[in-house]
Structure 1
Amino acid sequence: MRYDLSARTPMRVLAAFVLAACSGAAAAQVYDPPVPAAVAARMNLTALGAQSGFDRFIVYYRDGSGNGAALPASVAASTAPAARTARLQALGGDLARVSAALGVKLAHVRGLATGGELVGVQGQRLPPAAAQRFMTQMLANPDVAYVEPDRRMTIKMVPNDTYWQYQWDYYETTAGMNLPAAWDIATGSGVAVAVLDTGITAHSDLAGQTVGGYDFISDVATARDGNGRDSNPNDEGDWFAANECGVSYSSNSSWHGSHVAGTIAALANNAKGIAGVAFGARVVPVRVLGKCGGMISDIADAIIWASGGGVSGVPANPNPAKVLNMSLGGGGACGVTFQSAINSARSRGTTVVVAAGNENQNVSNSSPANCTGVIAVAALDRKGNRASYSNFGTTVDVAAPGGDTAASAYDGILSTLNAGTTTQGTENYVFYQGTSMATPHVAGLVALMLSRSPSLSPDQVESTLKANVRAIPGICSGGCGAGLVDAGKTLAALGGGGGTPPPGNVFSSGTDVVIPDLGSASSSIAVSGRSGNAPSALKVYVRIVHSYRGDLQIDLVAPGGKSFRLKNASSTDSAANVDTSYTVNASTVTANSTWQLKVADKYSGDTGYIDLWSLTF
């Protein structure tokens, strides 16, 4: 069932919401001890509620011209060399005074083009109450005009796509997948998702979002392109007349693959249409379904090819996918062919996401959702109930929004489509429902996960998804897996601001640890449940946010104290940040107990923090 939105005028409620949300003044949070109003006016007190700790502050001094204003814009003129020399002398005295009063080490970091001076707290982050005391102490000098904490800014992604308000499946609190919170952490960049489906149609909201692809339909009549298998994954239409496909009814072309592709990776923030779950990812369109469907023999070859394996007579895939989306299925047991193809894809590190099926039956009767090693996805309606059509059962892994157009067209899943009834026509956007629609929500989320943590195995992906779901909001008779996928919580668990580390053989820490300038920092991971020694190829993933990574020397310290050098400091490496994996032969040390990542800053002038690190056994 589908509903075409293209003829409707989009409601511009997003802009109204954004303006309303920003129009009210935030209430100031005053931490103990209370700050007099005259002093509070000279500091950014409300900023203290923005994060849990602060290690840098921006200080503005009056410029001596008598303007005496408290706002930064009024003191920004004090950039003349003589004025700045005097200001730095005053700053030195103030830092010594405040350091003694609060028992913290303070240092001048640099001047700002605005006329402010950046001050750093060495070796720690001040919680909000302590940060307030720091600012109050600085303002005890009447020549200090204004102080504010130097806060970390992140993406707060609410896209400007014109139909965003209809994408309830992303953001609604009842049955949405909490997607905007995940976009603050990852967008799927660098990840290829293969969509094994009807192929792809041209659509402006998918322009530049696809790469490569192949047509695996070997039967000419099914393919409708006159030549069977070829390198063109164009969707030729899957329409059929009554009694042509073993059924008495007829059907128009579904353009199903384009709808699935749009949910995964439609362009975002292009002031048009919809946003994809992983709009930074790229879709590899693989055509396996045509008139009357597609054959397992073709689909199995496509699974292997899409994941980077070799298929006789088909050129190698230059864009191997780490995620496969199969919004397709049929009856019966999994079978050796399907299972072998899936095993082959998994052996190359590819996660396979499959629709549970739309027969309102136990998923044990739906293939390939009943195959081993796949992530089988059930569908929920807008109220969070198992959709009336969705398959169920103990082998369903997770649930995702699938829609219910029977309740209302707007309760379906909106995505990219084509208006042609048989052959292609103009592009449009249409509401669909089905486990076919739920599945790309999960495939897109997997792309976000792999963009954040590329080393995750298919089993780790599945375990992390299941460990970070939320409870089914409504009723699910028969079993809807671990719960409703929660994109924000899942990405946070991979080091995006908290949450639980991935289960299984990955142990990680996502707690931020400040690396002071010319100082050192360490972060610990407790490993348990491992027998014997660590492996000879222990994988150590490290992500450090730092403005000059050459300053950093990084060591892994094993239980018992043995140290492994991961990175030396280098005065010539001026790039920012560390985001890489190291392999260590740790076979001589025990696996269980506490491991440490030690980071030393060997050169002055730059600071940063340990963002995330993990051990893979």
Structure 2
Amino acid sequence: MRTSPTNSPRRRTPLSVAAISLTLLTAASTHLAVAQDNPTEPPAVPSAQTEAAPGTPAERLIVGYKSGAAEATSNKAAAADAAAKGEQTGEDVDFERRLGTGAALVDLGEQATRTDVADVVAEYEADPQVAYVVPDRLNKPLATPNDTEYSQQWDLFESTAGMRVPGAWDLTTGSGVTVAVIDTGYVSHSDLAANIVGGYDFISDTAVSVDGNGRDSNPADPGDWYAAGECGQAAGSDSSWHGTHVAGTIAAATNNGKGVAGIAYGAKISPVRVLGKCGGYDSDIIDAITWASGGTVSGVPANTNVAKVINMSLGGGGACSTATQSAINAAVNRGTTVVVAAGNENQNAANSSPANCGNVITVAATNRSGSRASYSNYGSVVDIAAPGGETRTSTANGILSTLNSGTRTPSTENYAFYQGTSMATPHIAGLAALMKSAAPALTPAQIESAIKSNARALPGTCSGGCGAGLADAAKTVQAVTGGGTPTGSTYASSTAFSVPDNGSAIESPISVTGRSGNAPAALKVGVDITHTYRGDLVVDLVAPDGSVYRLKSASSSDSADDVRTTYTVDASAESANGTWKLRVQDTAALDTGRLNSWQLTF
């Protein structure tokens, strides 16, 4: 949803773009000479010589021998020396291997204390054939950006209600992933330009496009201002440069010594223009979703920058139309994750589209204290919450990103604080890009499941429902890169199945491999079913051996829509590996539905 920019001071920066860099934090390992007043006593050893990391005793030492020493070239001699040092200190010291520099790596074991390490270091120090001995230090990437406005991006790093993004940067920056921002297009900005790839202008109505033509390959944003009395509004509005603000949150250039940091700053942005003066039409948005995800649109060249993530910070009232849902389903089936805004009307998001569509990640907005922002929509269709800001008390409590100072047409680039679920949505799109980069095999359903299962409880409150909680970027990325199954312990299917009205059951399979033993006693079964009278539905989990576990029975009194929930099943008697199935049957006439996706979490 678009919101008006706040009246914050504009910031201008030079138009140069520096190369992105990642600084590696390395511990000093310079050999420290120690004077020995009494050569019969071992020298004192500084604590830095005993630790692999602060507070953690070293498990290995790197020993450099002087030229001419037998141990400098002979592994056998180095091993014998290590054994001798171990005997002299009473420790278990073993030669492990020769480094490329010629130094010897010796192992002290996991149980060595700092005092044990100090004794062995002192023994090596006292050996005239040893040039140096240093701990095998643990190094970590230091991913805190040097961008000048980063300190104002509370939404990324603050402990109270930030999304814990820096911890994810230690593992991935989003490289190799394109995110389509389906929005107002893109106005040139030097803090974003390096990450922009080809997009498209899908606005077919020239009254909306205001760029003098219809569809073309130029997604540049000419401005979306309107005068008083236009667009059904009594008051006019300046150009928002909305798509550029959204794009900056996702992938602003980072570690370039200027401006803001993007969440997935290694990713690319494909600007896809669908919103102009007064908004944009479903027909253009449907084509944009199709094209961005790699589908074919008549009269439009094939997309050479297919997006694995789509961000749609837009919407309107009413139900999700069949036409829009079809476009979303097709995009998801192509492997593209679709992230949408919950809306800014402080109402149930079930009344807003595409927030109420299936197969999307619907995002509510939180403020700086971690409560639902006063404007944010809420409800059962919301999947997750992310920082969207709230500027009533302070402009700085909004979300800072790339913008333009022009009130109507483009002028100088700047940065500004906005608020809205439009600002929350790119936080999740950026996280999805980080995940897809770190684990390319992830499906859209697995991405959604991992984001939700690794969320943390809101630090504040959310009346009406904010989904699984506040997204946690670090925990989520760590989960999908932890090895084993694609999302740590989750298997999912995003293949949609129509559920026949009062007809035969449909079955959706998930193949589970690579696990040992039986399924857990608390197997989680996540289900996403769209249906206009869910009381008609019977839902079962079918184990690999054919055993059936009833998840939901039919009920003539349950007239609510949809089944979007997670069931817990005691499946400890079942083998984990094999083909599991979700069986869904409509048992009464008149209402229809669709199984959108489901997942098993072990």
Normalised TM-score (structure 1) = 0.71
Match of 2:116 in 1: 133
- Kept in 1, the 8 Å contact 2:75–2:98? The answer is no
Correspondence 1:57 to 2:44: no
For the residue of structure 1 that corresponds to 2:490, the secondary structure is coil
- Mapped to 1, the partners of 2:478 and 2:214 lie a distance apart of 45
Correspondences of 1:257-272 after superposition (within 5 Å): 257-272=243-258
How many aligned positions are there?
476
- Mapped to 2, the partners of 1:188 and 1:86 lie a distance apart of 44
For the residue of structure 2 that corresponds to 1:473, the secondary structure is coil
The one of 376, 384, 392 aligned to 2:370: 384
Match of 1:96 in 2: 83
The one of 2, 6, 26 aligned to 1:2: 6
- Kept in 2, the 8 Å contact 1:205–1:274? The answer is yes
Q: Which stretches in structure 1 are left out of the alignment for 5+ residues? A: 11-20, 23-35, 62-77, 507-523, 531-589, 595-614
1:209 to partner: Cα distance = 0.7
Correspondence 1:108 to 2:91: no
1:39 to partner: Cα distance = 4.2
1:2 to partner: Cα distance = 1.7
1:170 to partner: Cα distance = 0.5
Structure 1 residues 60 and 259, CA, compared in 2 at 3 Å: closer, same or farther? Answer: same
The one of 358, 374, 377 aligned to 1:372: 358
Structure 1 residues 52 and 331, CA, compared in 2 at 3 Å: closer, same or farther? Answer: farther
Structure 1 residues 337 and 37, CA, compared in 2 at 3 Å: closer, same or farther? Answer: farther
Match of 2:344 in 1: 358
- Kept in 1, the 8 Å contact 2:340–2:425? The answer is yes
The one of 564, 573, 576 aligned to 1:592: 576
Q: Deviations over 1:444-503 (max 9, x none)?
A: 011001110011001100110011111100111100110101111111112369999534
Correspondences of 1:202-281 after superposition (within 5 Å): 202-281=188-267
For the residue of structure 2 that corresponds to 1:492, the secondary structure is helix
1:505 to partner: Cα distance = 1.4
Correspondences of 1:96-495 after superposition (within 5 Å): 96-97=83-84, 105-110=94-99, 112=101, 117-121=103-107, 126-127=109-110, 129=112, 133=116, 136-137=119-120, 139-141=122-124, 142-143=126-127, 144=130, 146-495=132-481
Structure 1 residues 201 and 528, CA, compared in 2 at 3 Å: closer, same or farther? Answer: farther
Counterpart residue type for residue 78 of structure 2: L
CA RMSD of aligned residues (A): 3.4
Normalised TM-score (structure 2) = 0.73
Structure 1 residues 413 and 499, CA, compared in 2 at 3 Å: closer, same or farther? Answer: farther
Structure 1 residues 167 and 175, CA, compared in 2 at 3 Å: closer, same or farther? Answer: same
- Mapped to 1, the partners of 2:49 and 2:242 lie a distance apart of 52
For the residue of structure 1 that corresponds to 2:390, the secondary structure is coil
- Kept in 2, the 8 Å contact 1:355–1:377? The answer is yes
- Mapped to 1, the partners of 2:332 and 2:434 lie a distance apart of 18
1:525 to partner: Cα distance = 4.7
- Mapped to 1, the partners of 2:47 and 2:311 lie a distance apart of 55
- Kept in 2, the 8 Å contact 1:5–1:431? The answer is no
- Kept in 1, the 8 Å contact 2:57–2:112? The answer is no
For the residue of structure 2 that corresponds to 1:136, the secondary structure is helix
- Mapped to 1, the partners of 2:354 and 2:64 lie a distance apart of 64
Counterpart residue type for residue 295 of structure 2: G
1:147 to partner: Cα distance = 3.3
- Kept in 1, the 8 Å contact 2:446–2:487? The answer is no
- Kept in 1, the 8 Å contact 2:174–2:265? The answer is yes
- Mapped to 1, the partners of 2:48 and 2:312 lie a distance apart of 55
The one of 50, 65, 68 aligned to 1:45: 50
- Mapped to 1, the partners of 2:85 and 2:134 lie a distance apart of 15
- Kept in 2, the 8 Å contact 1:413–1:437? The answer is yes
Match of 1:13 in 2: none
1:110 to partner: Cα distance = 2.5
Counterpart residue type for residue 480 of structure 2: L
- Mapped to 2, the partners of 1:429 and 1:278 lie a distance apart of 18
Q: Which stretches in structure 2 are left out of the alignment for 5+ residues? A: 15-24, 27-40, 493-513, 521-573, 579-599
For the residue of structure 2 that corresponds to 1:129, the secondary structure is coil
Q: Deviations over 1:252-281 (max 9, x none)?
A: 100000000000000001111001000000
Structure 1 residues 379 and 190, CA, compared in 2 at 3 Å: closer, same or farther? Answer: same
Structure 1 residues 105 and 269, CA, compared in 2 at 3 Å: closer, same or farther? Answer: same
What's the % identity of the aligned pairs?
A: 56
